[in-house]
């Protein structure tokens, strides 16, 4: 089907970005059709079109927000179909498409390479095919081990081996792809005292959210021979995004614990506080699974978590938001300015001025999108501002945490959240270049090192 589409003339006239958006739309439509099939539903379940569409967008954008209960709507076949759609969304329509071509042994031409380049935000043409292969290899490897560990371990929790395997499979995919859907009916709350499950799940979420380039660089480093390893250096991108990623997790956990010290955490032991706050901090990067009902937290924690979700995951990952690097570059930009314009070196490198400006633009536009969405939803909905903010940033960051209001929303608000999930997943820059060809400016070029934004 893909090949046939490529042979038509009109599709060749689209810019790479327009093509990707076209494929995302096709993916959403196909997913909606798949998920609407009665054969995937539990007996006697009635669903509305908007809710199925919402779940399709949510799965393709690996957000995990859902207006209806997954476990009450879908049967085991539905679970597997949903898991497939999440996987598809996470690795990216183009990456999957390309890997299909690789599997079919087809030579990949320049046009298709440019396609993937845009989707994964890579700035070098070289090694693109290798990259996609590696993505699939890395993700499937992680998921394989996750699945083995979790489904074995789940045997003690579920009455039959079949149920343990289905749950192990679904929760591995859901965690690794950062989709955050659950078929338990209450996310990971049943494992709130099981630190092993939480630890494995956090690992899987981090693998999915830290960005494919980081995983691949780490893998290359780990499997390189001794003499080659010495010559290898991590890219500036990997260093910045990883530092930001883990800083956000640690700082996030500390403040989540502090903001609810007198409330939710008041009667908890130190290790409960540690795991609750750590897990909820990790999940705001993009995961969306949770070990507690987040609506029990204080309003200031919701506000703080909204900020964390707005920042989101790393670029070229399964997550959304403005991205960790964007956030880091905005901080660098502000520090640069406060120092009177003197350029800043991080890890002994300078960043492109163009990248700083990109990061700042992306953040400001994201703020405008989020603010406008909140404004419109506050007209449509009776809920307080903090709850709407939480749901909106959760959608934009493709996190999927919810204070429980998504199921009660009007259709207009659901459409707004779908648009936000879409923008959050494809990224502001891609979204903006939707309507035109992506021309680079050629204005701020200095001999510095490239960074990935958005």
If the CB atoms of residues 197 and 273 are measured against a second copy, the closer one turns out to be: 273
Torsion, CA 327, CA 333, CA 338, CA 341, rounded to 10: 170
Contact present, 182 and 207 (Cβ < 8 Å):
no
Which CB sits closer to a second copy, 289 or 308? 308
Burial of 437 (0-12, 13-18, 19+ CB in 10 A): exposed
Q: How many CB atoms lie within 10 A of CB 159?
A: 8
Q: Which stretch binds K ion (CB under 5 A): 63-71, 116-124, 336-344, 372-380?
A: 63-71
Q: By C-beta, is 64 or 67 nearer to K ion?
A: 64
Closest distance of CB 332 from a second copy, Å: 11
The distance of closest approach from Cβ of residue 222 to a second copy in the complex, given in angstroms and rounded to an integer, is 38
Ranked by CB distance to K ion, the top (closest) residue is: 288
How far is Cα 320 from Cα 329, in angstroms, rounded to an integer?
17
Closer CB to K ion, residue 24 or residue 101? Answer: 24
Complex with K ion: residue 19 or 418, whichever CB lies closer: 418
Strand locations in 277-431, DSSP E? Answer: 345-346, 349-350
Per DSSP, the residues of 186-202 read STTGGGTT-HHHHHHHH
Tell me how far apart the alpha carbons of residues 450 and 212 are, in angstroms, rounded to a whole number. Answer: 17
Q: How many CB atoms lie within 10 A of CB 238?
A: 22
Q: Which does 338 bind (CB under 5 to 8 A by kind): a second copy, K ion, none?
A: a second copy
Query: Is residue 208 within the footprint of K ion (CB under 5 A)?
Result: no
Task: Using DSSP, state whether 345 is helix, strand or coil.
Answer: strand
Report the nearest approach of a second copy to the CB of residue 408 (Å): 17
Which spans of this chain sit near a second copy (rule: CB under 8 A)? 259, 298-300, 303-304, 307, 330, 333-334, 337-338, 340-343, 354, 357-358, 360-361, 363-365, 367-368, 371, 374-375, 378-379, 384-386, 389, 432, 438-444
Judged by beta carbon distances under 5 to 8 A according to partner kind, the member of K ion, a second copy, none in contact with residue 332 is none
Phi, psi dihedral angles at 349 (to 5 degrees): -130, 155
Nearest approach, Cβ of residue 302 and a second copy (Å): 8
Q: Any contact of residue 427 with K ion (CB under 5 A)?
A: no
């Amino acid at each position: 089907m893909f090949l046939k589409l490529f042979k038509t003339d009109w599709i060749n006239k689209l810019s790479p970005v327009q093509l990707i958006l076209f494929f995302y739309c096709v993916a959403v439509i196909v997913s909606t059709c798949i998920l609407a099939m009665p054969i995937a539903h539990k007996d006697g379940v009635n669903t509305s079109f908007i809710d199925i569409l919402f779940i399709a967008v949510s799965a393709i954008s690996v957000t995990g927000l859902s207006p209806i209960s997954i476990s009450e709507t879908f049967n085991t076949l539905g679970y597997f179909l949903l898991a497939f759609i999440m996987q598809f969304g996470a690795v990216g329509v183009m990456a999957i498409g390309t890997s299909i071509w690789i599997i079919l042994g087809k030579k990949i031409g320049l046009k298709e390479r440019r396609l993937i380049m845009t989707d994964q935000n890579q700035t070098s043409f070289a090694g693109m095919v290798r990259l996609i292969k590696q993505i699939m290899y890395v993700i499937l490897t992680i998921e394989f081990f996750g699945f083995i560990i979790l489904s074995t371990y789940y045997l003690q929790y579920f009455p039959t081996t079949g149920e343990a395997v289905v749950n192990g499979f679904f929760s591995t995919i859901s965690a690794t792809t950062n989709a955050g859907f659950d078929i338990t009916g209450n996310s990971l709350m049943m494992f709130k005292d099981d630190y092993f499950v939480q630890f494995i799940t956090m690992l899987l979420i981090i693998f999915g959210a830290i960005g494919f380039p980081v995983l691949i660089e780490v893998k290359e480093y780990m499997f390189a021979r001794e003499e080659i390893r010495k010559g290898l250096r991590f890219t500036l991108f990997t260093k910045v995004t990883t530092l930001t990623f883990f800083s956000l997790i640690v700082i996030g956990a500390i403040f989540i614990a502090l903001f609810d010290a007198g409330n939710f955490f008041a009667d908890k032991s130190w290790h409960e506080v540690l795991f609750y706050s750590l897990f909820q901090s990790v999940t705001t990067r993009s995961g969306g699974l949770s070990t507690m009902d987040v609506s029990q937290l204080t309003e200031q924690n919701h506000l703080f978590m909204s900020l964390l979700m707005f920042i989101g995951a790393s670029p070229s990952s399964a997550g959304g938001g403005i991205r960790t690097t964007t956030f880091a570059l905005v901080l660098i930009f502000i520090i640069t300015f406060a120092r009177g314009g003197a350029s800043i070196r991080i890890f002994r490198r300078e960043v492109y001025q163009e990248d700083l400006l990109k990061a700042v633009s992306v953040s400001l536009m994201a703020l405008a999108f989020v603010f406008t969405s909140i404004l419109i939803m506050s007209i449509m909905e009776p809920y307080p501002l903090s709850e709407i903010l939480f749901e909106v940033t959760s959608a934009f960051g493709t996190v999927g945490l919810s204070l429980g209001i998504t199921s009660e929303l009007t259709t207009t608000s659901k459409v707004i959240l779908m648009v936000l999930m879409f923008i959050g997943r494809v990224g502001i820059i891609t979204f903006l270049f939707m309507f035109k060809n992506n021309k680079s400016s050629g204005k701020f070029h200095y001999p510095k090192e490239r960074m990935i934004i958005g």
